[in-house]
Chain A
Amino acid sequence: MDFMVFQYPMITIQACLDGILLGVLFALIAYGMALQWGVMNIINIAQGDLVILGGYIAYFMYLYGIHPAWGVIVSPIIMYFVGVGIYKLVINKVVDRDLFISILATFGISILFMQLMNFAFGADVVLANSGYGTTFLFDSNVVLPNSKIFSAFISIVFAICLVVYMKKSKLGRAIRATAQNARAAKILGVDTEKVYAATFGINAALCGVAGALISITFTIHPYMGLPYTIRSFMIVIVAGLGNLPGVAMSGMGLGVFEEFADYLLGTEFRIGSVFLLLVLILVYRRFKLSRKREYLK
């Protein structure tokens, strides 16, 4: 550990910019998680594995000579059907059961996906080279790969599209109604089963977009899923359900935190620090809530 951060401001700027561009991606995944958590009250441990699967779709297009940026279009379409399939096979049996059952069931899906991807694609760390070049800022003291800027831009576009879709479309209204009160929505003629399937599909599609972008910008590996799940869970609990600007902000904050942890503690502690941060946030939250409870006394 050293104190270059203070003596050499460019490193700080670099880490902040990297972190923000990374955080936008996290926020996109977290948005999907917030959606299904709010609508179905399910925490999907397999979220990260859906992301990685989406990444492999883009990587395969790259292998077959198609520019991986097209994965941003293709991957969500495939992932939508994967998501609906998972819903039909597993999730619809655990939707209104004990919360822990859904966590454990999705944990099983996560292990399954991890291993299937390991068989199908091998255990190597891969990336799809987009060939976008790099941008240099501040006399080339700050280096930004264009692919990162591209991925942040695409995530923002997708997030905005989704928000508009949820506000304006009929399905979006049905989803929001189900999230508010599933029973009332059912009484008023909303086919909640279909809404749940669509929600899970949309979540998987978002994961697909994020995965395709991650395969362009960073690297993917079959076993890298769980950290993405934990990150999105963390972002959602910090921001609160249904708080979209909050999700974006806390996503970026997490990205910046990670870049600094990476730089200050060393790369081997990067994932560990994410998980520790989760524990710290939850502990903080618990003490804050218990103080609130004392007021009631």
Chain B
Amino acid sequence: MNKNIILYAAILIFGLAAPFIFPAFKVQLSILCVLIVLATTWNIQGGEMGYNTFGNILFYGLGMYLCASVQVGMFFPLAEWTESGGEKTFVHTPSQFFQGMAAGLVVAAVVPTIVAGLIGYAILGLRGHYFAICTLGLGVAAGEISGGIEIIGAGQGFTTPPFPNVGGLEARGEFFYFLSFGALVLTFLAVRAIYSTRFKLILNAIRDNEDKAEAMGIETMKYKIIGWMVSAFFCGLAGGIMGGLVGYIDSTDVAFDGREMGVFMVLMAILGGKGTLWGPVIGATVFHVFKEGFWTFFLGWQYVALGVLIVVIVIYFPEGIMGWLREKYPERFGEVVDEADRKAQVELK
């Protein structure tokens, strides 16, 4: 336990100091924080609950649109803002910007949670293939439909309010970094707290055998919905931050980007090891470093690389990094290992 506190303190200090140590990578670090949040929330469904969703992108995109809309709509008419497109007719004062951002993030987190509750009631009764494809459909449908709604910019996109003129580019980077790092810490602590309760055991029971869990008197539906709502809360928050960070929202390329973000979050969680607390964090970090490092070499070929990567990871590393570590060093994971048993296994190999 004592070791853990030192580890957490070290990570926290590193996280707080990171933008000053690597000033050139502030945006990348912020994106990394958002990616970790997404992977961690996906892991609640895919890893712990056994419900593999492609649809968490729905909450991410919803949060993105809601945050930006609230931020604009609190002070200016939304329709005129989106109509003017890139040319700014309205300018936020710094206090308006920060107030709007705060209100926007609250809305961006709360509304997806409610939506998740409603949708969850309807679709969490589906299982296996059906759930996966249904959520895939939800994500794509949301993208297609939001691309046809005029007030949020339809096909031409939505420019989020630019950062007010205080401190220039440096301040912008630091603001968004600390915002996303705050979201990451919040998510991690919340998920960690959740995983130490009975709730996690219930989710695992649902994953292992839902019918049996139901027969044991667990109201599986209730817990599944709550699990999804927790995911949606943090996904929406991450989406709101990402919207402000990117500065421009497009329905299918940024917000409901099932082809990128929607797959990334699944991939990162699987790469790190699903069903573990640290897996998504490690997976997201490795994935992001790999992506940013190699994307430049594969310029133009990044989707080809992504497709190959998905196939390779899914076929050869379905247990992920944490699963591999667990197999290699089972004692570290609190498993009792019989020495004779291990020797016998080595001899078998």
Contact in complex: B148, A105 (CB < 8 Å): no
Enumerate B263-310 residues with CB–CB distance to A below 8 Å. Answer: 263, 266, 270, 300-301, 303-304, 306-310
| B309:A272 contact, CB within 8 angstroms | no
Within 8 A of A (CB), among B123-168: 123, 125-126, 128-130, 132-134, 136-138, 140-141, 144-145, 147-148, 155
Q: Does B91 count as interface, using CB distance less than 8 angstroms?
A: no
Q: How far is the CB of B307 from chain A (nearest CB, A)?
A: 3
Cβ B145 vs Cβ A112 within 8 A: no
Residues of A within 8 A of B137 (CB): 230, 275-276, 278-279, 282
Q: Is the CB of A108 within 8 A of B147?
A: no
- Residues of A near B141 (CB, < 8 A) are 272, 275-276, 278-279
Decide: A108 and B308 in contact? CB cutoff 8 A.
yes
Q: Is B15 an interface residue (CB 8 A)?
A: no
Q: How far is the CA of A283 from the CA of B138 in the complex (A)?
A: 12
Contact assessment for A272 and B144 in the assembled complex, using a CB-CB cutoff below 8 Å: yes
Chain B residues, Cβ within 8 Å of A109: 307, 311
Distance (Å) between the CB of A152 and the closest chain B CB? 26
Residues of chain B with a CB closer than 8 A to A154's CB:
none
A170-192 interface (Cβ within 8 A of B) = none
Q: Does B18 contact A (CB under 8 A)?
A: no
CB distance from A49 to the nearest CB of B (A): 10
Known contacts A104-B266, A108-B314, A226-B140; is-contact A290 B307 (Cβ 8 Å): no
A275 near B140 (CB under 8 angstroms)? yes
Give CA–CA (A271, B144) in the complex, Å: 7
By the criterion CB–CB under 8 Å, are B318 and A98 in contact?
A: yes
Determine if B216 is an interface residue (Cβ-Cβ < 8 Å).
no
We find that the number of chain A residues with CB closer than 8 angstroms to chain B is 45
CA distance A98 to B315 in the complex (A): 11
Q: A278 and B145: CB pair below 8 A? A: no
A97 at the interface (CB under 8 A from B): yes
CA distance A62 to B268 in the complex (A): 43
Chain A nearest CB from B297 CB (Å) reads 16
Residues in chain A near residue B266, CB distance under 8 A: 104
B133 touches A43 (CB 8 A): yes
B122 at interface by CB-CB < 8 Å: yes
Task: Tell me whether B212 is interfacial, beta carbon within 8 Å.
Answer: no
Question: A45 CA to B318 CA in the complex, in Å?
Answer: 19
Choose among B132, B134, B270, B314 the residue that contacts A279 (Cβ–Cβ < 8 A): B134
Contacts of B308 in A (CB 8 A): 108, 112
Contacts across chains A and B counted by CB atoms under 8 Å: 127
Contact of B147 among A233, A268, A279 (CB under 8 A): A268
The minimal Cβ–Cβ distance linking B304 to chain A, given in whole angstroms, is 5
CB distance from A37 to the nearest CB of B (A): 9
Q: Which of A105, A110, A111, A269 contacts B145 (CB 8 A)?
A: A269
Using C-beta atoms within 8 Å of the partner chain, give the interface range for chain B. 35 or more
Contact B140 A266 (CB under 8 A): no
Let me know if B222 is at the binding interface, CB within 8 A.
Answer: no
Question: With A and B bound together, what is the CA distance between A233 and B135 in angstroms?
Answer: 13
Contact A286 B315 (CB under 8 A): no
Which chain B residues in 211-255 approach chain A with CB under 8 Å?
none
Q: Indicate if A94 sits at the interface (CB-CB under 8 A).
A: yes
Question: Do B303 and A101 touch across chains, with their CB atoms under 8 A apart?
Answer: no
Quick check: A101 and B125 within 8 Å, CB to CB? Answer: no
Report the nearest A residue to B138, measured CB to CB. Answer: A279
Contacts of B311 in A (CB 8 A): 90, 105, 108-109, 112
CA–CA, A288 and B267, complex, Å: 33
Contact (A111, B259) CB under 8 Å given A275-B138, A282-B126:
yes
Considering only CB atoms, which chain B residue lies closest to A110 in the complex?
B307
In the complex, chain B residues whose CB is within 8 Å of the CB of A289: 125
**Chain B: CB-nearest residue to A113:** B307
Is B82 at the interface (CB under 8 A from chain A)? no
A278–B134 CB distance below 8 A: yes
Q: Is B138 a contact partner of A104 (Cβ separation < 8 A)?
A: no
Expressed in whole angstroms, the Cα–Cα distance for A195 and B141 within the complex equals: 36
Q: Residue B180 at the A interface, CB < 8 A?
A: no
Is there an interface contact between B306 and A99, defined as CB atoms closer than 8 Å?
Answer: no
Chain A residues packing against B (C-beta within 8 Å): 43, 45, 90, 93-94, 97-101, 103-105, 107-116, 118-119, 226, 230, 233, 237, 266, 268-269, 271-272, 275-276, 278-279, 282-283, 285-287, 289-290
What are 25 of the A-B contact pairs (CB < 8 Å)? A90-B315, A99-B128, A100-B46, A100-B128, A101-B314, A103-B129, A107-B310, A108-B306, A109-B311, A111-B310, A112-B304, A112-B308, A112-B311, A115-B304, A116-B304, A119-B300, A119-B301, A119-B304, A230-B137, A271-B140, A275-B144, A282-B133, A282-B137, A285-B126, A286-B123
Report, nearest first, the 4 A-B pairs whose CB atoms are least far apart: A112-B307, A108-B310, A272-B144, A275-B141
